[in-house]
């Protein structure tokens, strides 16, 4: 558990943000569920006919399914507007919150003396609307927006119809086809929630960073701060505690929970003869080493754990870069093959043979 006031605040602010995201997620789940109830009734009618006469009626069934596909696409056009509105609300709130939080975190990172008030009186506050414009992935023509408006509904509708046509062609039972259709329809909700959550978190971190960058007389950069628990990916663990300039984005992966803790000027750099307690973010490598084998194996996966235990991979190998069409460069966990190439094969199945 973090003990320094700035780390306690960073964790609280992150949890506050995630609670807000869950509220948005509930609204989207309810809207999507309402659409599915309507679609399910139509799916059930088609499968009831299929159950009565599975072979001769297949061609007619395919025609009915293509009608269903068009119906789903139309319904999801309406959902896309709801989700786009949720995206706007979530990111605007995240930006406003980040601009407040960045000042709070910076003040907490100072020693807590009377001088802090004088230092923070020179803080430059950014206009949330300017920050919103500066964050490129939120623009009307960005890949995220065009995916909502041009691809989302059609892609989900096509996936559901294709799954059902495939099941009918293969002669599967109605229950199995209905299950697959429901699963495929759920992919759309999962995609929507992932992108809304990621946009909210990314907007928060970027607004945070831009606020730090606007105050170089106080903030010298930021530290990568992960949740450091068994749900934290290995990339984020390996990045934990690293220092970065304020010009550099905290490019966490989709659904990433990491945040940027400000690194501030010292009192001595400002000309005051004052000792400061160093900020201890915790050592993620030591934290991982202290976990038992079951936790380490669960976090790494068997093959990567075996390679780690054999000394074939290093801590710094665990993070790599991926270019995303929406956000650009993202830090993601490196695959074992990405680290070791063809040599990765020797570690697959090793536990089973032990």
Angle, vertex CA 227, rays to CA 18 and CA 260, nearest 5: 80
pLDDT digits (tens, 9 = 90+) for 112-171: 777 778 888 889 999 999 998 888 888 878 888 888 778 889 999 999 999 998 888 888
Between CA 164 and CA 58 the distance in angstroms is 11
| pLDDT above 50 (res 327) | yes
For residue 66, give both structure tokens: 């293509």
What are the percentages of helix, strand and coil residues in the chain, rounded to 5? 65, 10, 25
Tell me what the mean pLDDT of segment 80-91 comes to: 90
**Residue 351: pLDDT over 70:** no
**pTM to 2 decimal places:** 0.89
In this predicted model, what pLDDT tens digit does every residue of 174-187 receive, in sequence order?
Answer: 899 999 999 999 99
C-alpha to C-alpha distance for 238 and 314, rounded to whole angstroms? 10
Q: What is the DSSP string of 164-184?
A: HHHHHHHT--HHHHHHHHHHH
* Joined tokens for residue 37: 């109830």
Q: pLDDT tier at 354 (50, 70, 90 boundaries)? A: very low
pLDDT for 283 equals: 95
Q: Give which of 261, 254, 227 is closest to 330, Cα–Cα.
A: 254
The residue extents of the domains of the chain are 5-217, 291-353
- Angle, vertex CA 148, rays to CA 145 and CA 150, nearest 5: 100
For residues 63 and 327, the model is more confident at 327
Instruction: Give the model confidence (pLDDT) of 6-30 as tens digits.
Output: 888 888 888 888 888 888 889 999 9
Average pLDDT over residues 340-349: 90
The total number of residues shown for the chain amounts to 354
The confidence score (pLDDT) of residue 236 equals: 96
């Amino acid at each position: 558990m973090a003990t320094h006031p700035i780390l306690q605040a960073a964790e609280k602010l992150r949890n506050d943000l995630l609670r807000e995201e869950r509220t948005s997620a509930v609204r989207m789940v309810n809207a999507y569920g309402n659409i599915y109830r309507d679609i399910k009734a139509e799916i059930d009618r088609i499968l009831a006919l299929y159950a009565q006469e599975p072979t001769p009626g297949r061609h007619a069934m395919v025609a009915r399914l293509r009608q269903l596909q068009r119906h789903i696409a139309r319904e999801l056009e309406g959902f896309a507007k709801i989700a786009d509105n949720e995206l706007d609300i979530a990111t605007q709130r995240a930006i406003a919150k980040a601009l407040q939080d960045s000042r709070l975190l910076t003040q907490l990172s100072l020693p807590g003396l009377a001088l802090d008030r004088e230092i923070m009186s020179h803080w430059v506050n950014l206009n949330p609307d300017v920050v919103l414009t500066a964050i490129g992935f939120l623009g009307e023509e960005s890949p995220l927006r065009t995916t909502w408006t041009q691809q989302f509904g059609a892609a989900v509708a096509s996936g559901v119809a294709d799954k059902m046509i495939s099941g009918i062609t293969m002669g599967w039972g109605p229950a199995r086809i209905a299950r697959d259709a429901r699963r495929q329809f759920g992919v759309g909700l999962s995609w929507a929630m992932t992108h809304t959550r990621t946009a909210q978190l990314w907007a928060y971190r970027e607004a945070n960073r831009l606020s730090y960058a606007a105050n170089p007389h106080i903030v010298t950069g930021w530290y990568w701060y992960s949740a450091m628990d068994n749900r934290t990916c290995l990339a984020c663990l390996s990045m934990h505690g690293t220092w970065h300039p304020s010009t550099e984005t905290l490019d966490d992966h989709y659904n990433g929970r990491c945040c940027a803790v400000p690194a501030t000027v010292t009192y001595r750099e400002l000309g005051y003869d004052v000792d400061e307690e160093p900020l201890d973010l915790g050592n993620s490598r030591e934290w991982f080493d202290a976990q038992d084998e079951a936790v380490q194996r669960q976090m790494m996966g068997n093959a990567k754990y075996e390679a780690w235990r054999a000394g074939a991979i290093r801590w710094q190998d665990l993070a790599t870069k991926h270019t995303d069409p929406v956000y650009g460069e993202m830090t993601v966990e490196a695959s074992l093959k990405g680290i070791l190439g063809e040599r990765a094969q020797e570690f697959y199945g090793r536990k089973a043979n032990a």
